[in-house]
A and B are shown apart, each in its own frame.
Chain A
Amino acid sequence: NAGVTQTPKFQVLKTGQSMTLQCAQDMNHEYMSWYRQDPGMGLRLIHYSVGAGITDQGEVPNGYNVSRSTTEDFPLRLLSAAPSQTSVYFCASSKDTATNEKLFFGSGTQLSVL
């Protein structure tokens, strides 16, 4: 299994541009989530999904959209990028919410918004 795969690894955007961060897992996990990591701030939850067709907001959802059309994929969309969205983004998954104590993380996407 490849685990959790995130693409791209690095991205530079200009303010106002849009883009999609991709996340895919091949472990048949029901639960998927997106975090952003800023220096000294730890991991903050953006959006999460408990299964295909179901998404919900986390702690910092503003400026981001998600969808979950399949079990495997959970893309994160930035509709109009802002400098405040410069961060490292991590996708994480688990078998289901009952096993959320053990999340599997991707290797991250480093995003810079100029």
Chain B
Amino acid sequence: DAGVIQSPRHEVTEMGQEVTLRCKPISGHDYLFWYRQTMMRGLELLIYFNNNVPIDDSGMPEDRFSAKMPNASFSTLKIQPSEPRDSAVYFCASSLEVGEKLFFGSGTQLSVL
């Protein structure tokens, strides 16, 4: 298996633009997670899905952030409009079942100028 696949690897955009990050989880995994990592706050869980349904989005910083999982093999994290403080590395992860270990993607390095 190729593991969790994220795209793009790097994204540079200007303030106010819409940004869409993409994730393909490992096939057969029922849980998908979006994390954000910054120097100041470390790794933070933004939202997670179970069987394509959002379960907990309490970590989403504000309404500018939205996440969807239209099917079992694809998820998006969208920021609209983007701001410089959104600059971070965004990780997607998936796991097979409750309590199982998480497999992380390589992340998307987002820079908002």
Instruction: Tell whether A pairs with B.
Output: no
